Amino acid sequence: MSDQPPPLAGVAGWPVSHSLSPRLHGHWLARYNLPGFYVPLGIDPKNFETAIRALPMLGFKGVNLTIPFKETILSFADSVSDRAALIGSANTLVFREDGSILADSTDGFGFIENLQQNAPNWDASAGPALVLGAGGASRAVLSSLLSAGAPEIRLTNRTRQRSEILKDHFGARITIVDWNQSEEAADGVNLVVNTTSLGMKGNAELAFNLGDAPENALVTDIVYTPLETGLLASARARGNPVVDGLGMLIFQAVPGFESWFGMRPEVDQALREAILSK
């Protein structure tokens, strides 16, 4: 009989108690009856590097990162994937046999996979997209839309300077739109995405009228608390196809689970219910 300890993984954050990732990975471990554990790791930022470097010695195969560690990790990871370097943050660490750290970002993958699985008729390359917000989440959304072939991305943000930084980084297919012109910029798009924190439980609503958007434009939100944001509700009411943000959270978890526990997990309704039920 093997005396290999069960593989460990987790999510490192500060605070971390809000994270749904333990529930998500725990569901997959139970469903596939795999040995292993996925745990929340609250790490004081001043101990971040020391704590992360110790994890491989404790039997961890890797971890997810959440606030405030997703950018910091890039300064000391032993290698950084191309997509993490492009996005400027990492959410998935894989520890190699020698204890070295590979930092990867699966946020863009999670975003685009969620749309492709839940709106299979939508084609990123078929028309312009409108992206609201220019923060960290927006970087992942922009990189994945560009690699999926979006011909133009209209980017709008309350603070215009942050849009300009992203245009400098991501290039000519980004068009900057003033925040107060964002509704008009929905004219002719095939996708509207909210990447701001507006509409999240406890925050102000996103005041955005979809009146200028085509009725077949796909509308999605990276906010998933509530699952049906004001933006999604108004899109649904006028007949637009809608994809909620929970799928992005779920799909970004797939590559990490596969690396750490050796099996590519399935995403289905039972998983969504398990995450939402408690």
Beta carbon of residue 179, minimum distance to ligand ATR (angstroms, whole number): 7
Residues 152-211 that bind ligand ATR (CB under 6 A): 157-159, 162, 195-198, 204
Beta carbon of residue 240, minimum distance to ligand ATR (angstroms, whole number): 22
Between residues 55 and 73, which has the closer beta carbon with respect to ligand ATR?
A: 73
Residues 64-93 that bind ligand ATR (CB under 6 A): none
Is 133 near ligand ATR (CB under 6 A)? yes
Is 131 near ligand ATR (CB under 6 A)? no
Looking at this protein, which amino acid is placed at residue 126? A
Q: How many residues bind ligand ATR (CB under 6 A)?
A: 15
CA dist 66 and 159 (Å) reads 24
Between residues 114 and 259, which has the closer beta carbon with respect to ligand ATR?
A: 114
Beta carbon of residue 33, minimum distance to ligand ATR (angstroms, whole number): 35
Give the catalytic positions in this structure. Answer: 70
Between residues 155 and 271, which has the closer beta carbon with respect to ligand ATR?
A: 155
Which position among 26, 59, 127, 136 is part of the footprint of ligand ATR (CB under 6 A)? 136
Q: Which stretch binds ligand ATR (CB under 6 A): 14-22, 44-52, 129-137, 246-254?
A: 129-137
Residues 230-259 that bind ligand ATR (CB under 6 A): none
Between residues 138 and 240, which has the closer beta carbon with respect to ligand ATR?
A: 138
Summarize as ranges the residues that interact with ligand ATR (CB under 6 A).
Answer: 133-138, 157-159, 162, 195-198, 204
